[in-house]
């Protein structure tokens, strides 16, 4: 179907559930609210009974009309109809209120479950799937689900109304009732035929909406780069493409849904004509009374309404089912990182050993093959290598963000797969290349590592980093607001906050992806001082980009195509004139204090 369906494929974790499975699972969410559900059902029955009273009351009056008592009878009738109307309104009010409460609470729980599922997925999940599409599942899909449950409860009342009316009509005249119901199978057939196409189309509308969300999210996240490269028009064009696709998919769905309703009305009109014609004849032949005939004609609309509603709202029902299918698929997505045990993590010393590690992100490329490295507790190891060599991957494996395919990773001699990951992560401090700060104050961000830390503790760690001088440059010190993602702070200040955060966490192992961005010499010195404090007495894995850090490391490991090709300290490796010396010439030489353009190359023996 070309453009219309481009990019609307299912995500890899999507699955198809049978309707019965979905309904059972949805039922599970409603189970705890059974008292309210019982209340709703009673009100629905009362509501339907009262709504069906009007034609029955009028029909009875018609048959018992006699000239002398006409006014009195009409008065009584009006009174009854009024009473039934007020009662029906009251029942309906409470029913809607109970429904809103039940559905609201169920959606609250479903959304919380979906959110928990998202935050507990491993990192590979976020690499693989766009965040906009994930957001869409947690927000609009749960909303669709809510809309459909409300609708279903309303339909339930209409179905009851239908059953009551059919019961009364059967009691009045079996033949005419059966005649009235002849068109029912046609309506059901049309609705069923509609079902298959509806589910597919609604799935696509939800996917197209998720695509729009994802596009907006990506553009806003990368707005600085886009503006820098003056890509506004291209971004707009790309958005227009995705937005138009969503428009076309919605249009198709709308066309189908709106097309079905007139067809159903047409079928019901044929039914009405049949009843009016044959009913009229029966009255003339004195087979039924005028009151009964009135009851049949009046009941027709009440009778068709539930049928047409069920058929035409089938689409929304399908929309709700496919929305719940998408949410449940998110809940059921299988974790790639699989722990074989959940053992408590003792106070770690911080020894790390990769044994014949084999790792790849996907089928396309093996990132580490038979990788062997042992890092002693308390050692600072700098990993260096060309871009794409596998340095960050090694760090991500230590953080247990990804599953490896072969070999072992031992922490203090114990298989990392046996740890309770929640506890393990507590012993692990991570300083990413671009530090992420949450909106709030500098103090809030430092405290993120340990929410129970006192103000005094936060102040103490902040002052420990770079002697605390950096705090003076902040307009309101620790109470300075950092803005979204820390945008109101300079990159250097963000890094200092990230270092203070890790110091407060006090982990046994630190993973640091050193920033490549250039920072002014003063901040650089403050960061270096901060690092000296943080790295002391801890195992540190540094993906190093600064010569000063590399020189301070106990050991440098050179990574090339996922293998450790050389190791030693700076002086030793420089003397050797191998891989490290080559990297030095390319990346680090110009950072040396003795650097002179065109000079300072070390000889490489290869």
Residue ranges in contact with ligand ATP by CB under 6 A: 127, 361-362, 365, 367, 385, 387-393
Closest residue by Cα to residue 248 from 195, 312, 204: 204
Token pair 């309404």 in the structure block, residue: 305
440-444: Cβ within 8 A, 24+ apart: 440/481, 440/482, 441/476, 441/478, 441/479, 441/480, 441/481, 441/482, 442/471, 442/474, 442/477, 442/478, 442/479, 442/480, 442/482, 442/489, 442/497, 443/478, 443/479
- Of 9 and 127, nearer to ligand ATP (C-beta) is 127
Question: Which secondary-structure segment (H or E) carries 105?
Answer: helix 70-120
Smallest separation, CB 373 to ligand ATP (Å): 14
- Of 207 and 391, nearer to ligand ATP (C-beta) is 391
Smallest separation, CB 311 to ligand ATP (Å): 47
Rounded Cα–Cα distance for residues 173 and 168 (Å): 9
Residues 37 and 74: beta-carbon distance below 8 Å: no
- Of 49 and 432, nearer to ligand ATP (C-beta) is 432
Smallest separation, CB 357 to ligand ATP (Å): 13
Rounded Cα–Cα distance for residues 347 and 238 (Å): 51
Smallest separation, CB 126 to ligand ATP (Å): 9
Kind of pairing between the strands at 380-385 and 555-560: parallel
Smallest separation, CB 500 to ligand ATP (Å): 24
Rounded Cα–Cα distance for residues 403 and 250 (Å): 39
- Of 111 and 133, nearer to ligand ATP (C-beta) is 133
Rounded Cα–Cα distance for residues 484 and 463 (Å): 24
- Of 40 and 542, nearer to ligand ATP (C-beta) is 542
Smallest separation, CB 255 to ligand ATP (Å): 40
Kind of pairing between the strands at 509-513 and 428-431: parallel
- Of 141 and 513, nearer to ligand ATP (C-beta) is 513
Length of the chain: 606
- Of 211 and 391, nearer to ligand ATP (C-beta) is 391
Kind of pairing between the strands at 352-359 and 406-411: antiparallel
CA distances from 108 to 25, 39, 101, 275, 552 (A): 16, 21, 10, 47, 51
Smallest separation, CB 365 to ligand ATP (Å): 6
If one counts every other C-beta atom within 10 angstroms of the C-beta of residue 405, the result is 12
From the centroid of its chain, how far is CA 309?
Answer: 31
- Of 208 and 393, nearer to ligand ATP (C-beta) is 393
- Of 288 and 540, nearer to ligand ATP (C-beta) is 540
- Of 184 and 434, nearer to ligand ATP (C-beta) is 434
- Of 133 and 391, nearer to ligand ATP (C-beta) is 391
- Of 66 and 365, nearer to ligand ATP (C-beta) is 365
Residues 118 and 331: beta-carbon distance below 8 Å: no
Smallest separation, CB 364 to ligand ATP (Å): 7
Q: What angle do CA 562, 565, 570 make, to 5 degrees?
A: 120
Residues 447 and 505: beta-carbon distance below 8 Å: no
Q: 3-class SS at 119?
A: helix
Q: Could you tell me which residues are beta bridge partners of residue 541?
A: 381, 511
Q: Is 562 exposed, middle or buried (0-12, 13-18, 19+ CB in 10 A)?
A: buried
Smallest separation, CB 386 to ligand ATP (Å): 7
- Of 326 and 400, nearer to ligand ATP (C-beta) is 400
Tokens representing 275 are 């009843």
Torsion over CA: 39, 42, 45, 46 (sign): negative
Residues 29 and 106: beta-carbon distance below 8 Å: yes
Smallest separation, CB 127 to ligand ATP (Å): 4
Smallest separation, CB 18 to ligand ATP (Å): 34
Closest residue by Cα to residue 20 from 443, 364, 321, 428: 321
Smallest separation, CB 434 to ligand ATP (Å): 12
CA distances from 38 to 49, 101, 165 (A): 17, 13, 23
Q: Could you tell me which residues are beta bridge partners of residue 557?
A: 383, 567
């Amino acid at each position: 179907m070309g453009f219309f369906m481009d990019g609307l494929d299912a995500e890899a974790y999507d699955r198809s559930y049978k309707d019965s499975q979905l309904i059972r699972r949805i039922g599970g969410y409603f189970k705890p609210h059974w008292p309210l559900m019982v209340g709703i059902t009673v009100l629905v029955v009362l509501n339907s009974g009262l709504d069906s009273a009007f034609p029955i009351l009028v029909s009875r009056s018609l048959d018992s009309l006699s000239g002398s008592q006409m006014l009195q009878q009409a008065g009584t009738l009006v009174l009854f109809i009024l009473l039934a109307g007020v009662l029906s309104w009251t029942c309906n009010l409470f029913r809607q209120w109970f429904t809103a409460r039940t559905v609201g609470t169920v959606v609250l729980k479903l959304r919380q479950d979906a959110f928990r599922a998202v935050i507990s997925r491993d990192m590979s999940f976020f690499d693989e799937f766009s965040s906009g599409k994930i957001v869409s599942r947690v927000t609009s899909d749960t909303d669709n689900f809510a809309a459909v449950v409300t609708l279903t409860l309303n339909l339930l009342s209409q179905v009851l109304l239908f059953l009551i009316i059919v019961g009364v009509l059967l009691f009045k005249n079996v033949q005419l009732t059966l005649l009235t119901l002849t068109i029912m199978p046609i309506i059901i057939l049309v609705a069923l035929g509609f079902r298959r196409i509806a589910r597919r189309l609604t799935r696509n509308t939800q996917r197209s909406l998720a695509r729009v969300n994802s596009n907006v999210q990506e553009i806003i996240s990368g707005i600085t780069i886009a503006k820098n490269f003056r890509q506004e028009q291209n971004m707009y064009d790309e958005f227009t493409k995705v937005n138009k696709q969503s428009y076309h998919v919605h249009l198709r769905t709308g066309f189908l849904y709106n097309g079905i309703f007139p067809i159903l009305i047409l079928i019901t009109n044929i039914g009405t004509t049949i009843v009016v014609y044959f009913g009229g004849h029966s009255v003339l032949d004195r087979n039924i009374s005028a009151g009964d005939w009135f009851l049949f004609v009046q009941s027709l609309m009440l009778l068709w309404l539930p049928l047409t509603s069920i058929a035409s709202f089938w689409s929304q029902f399908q929309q709700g089912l496919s929305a719940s299918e998408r949410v449940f698929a998110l809940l059921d997505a299988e974790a790639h990182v699989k722990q074989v045990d959940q053992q408590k993590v003792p106070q770690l010393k911080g020894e790390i050993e990769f044994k014949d590690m084999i790792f790849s992100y996907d089928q396309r490329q093996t990132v580490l093959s038979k990788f062997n490295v042992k890092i002693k507790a308390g050692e600072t190891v700098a990993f260096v290598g060309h871009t794409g060599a596998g340095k960050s991957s090694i760090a991500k494996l230590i953080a247990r963000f990804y599953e490896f395919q072969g070999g072992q990773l031992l922490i203090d001699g114990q298989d990392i797969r046996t740890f309770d990951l929640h506890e393990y992560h507590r012993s692990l401090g991570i300083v990413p290349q671009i530090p992420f700060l949450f909106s709030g104050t500098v103090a809030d961000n430092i405290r993120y590592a340990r929410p129970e830390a006192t103000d005094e503790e936060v102040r103490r760690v902040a002052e420990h980093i770079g002697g605390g001088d950096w705090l003076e440059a902040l307009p309101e010190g620790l109470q300075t607001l950092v803005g979204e993602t820390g945008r109101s702070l300079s990159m250097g200040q963000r890094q200092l906050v990230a270092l203070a955060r890790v110091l407060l966490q006090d982990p046994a192992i630190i993973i640091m992806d050193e920033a490549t961005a250039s920072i002014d010499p003063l901040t650089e010195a403050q960061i270096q001082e901060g690092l000296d404090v943080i790295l002391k007495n801890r195992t540190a894995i540094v993906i190093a980009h600064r010569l000063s850090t590399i020189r301070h490391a106990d050991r440098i490991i050179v990574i090339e195509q996922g293998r450790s090709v050389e190791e030693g300290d700076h002086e030793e490796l420089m003397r050797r004139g191998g891989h490290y010396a080559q990297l030095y010439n390319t990346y680090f030489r110009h950072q040396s204090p003795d650097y002179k353009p065109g000079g300072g190359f070390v000889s490489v023996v290869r």
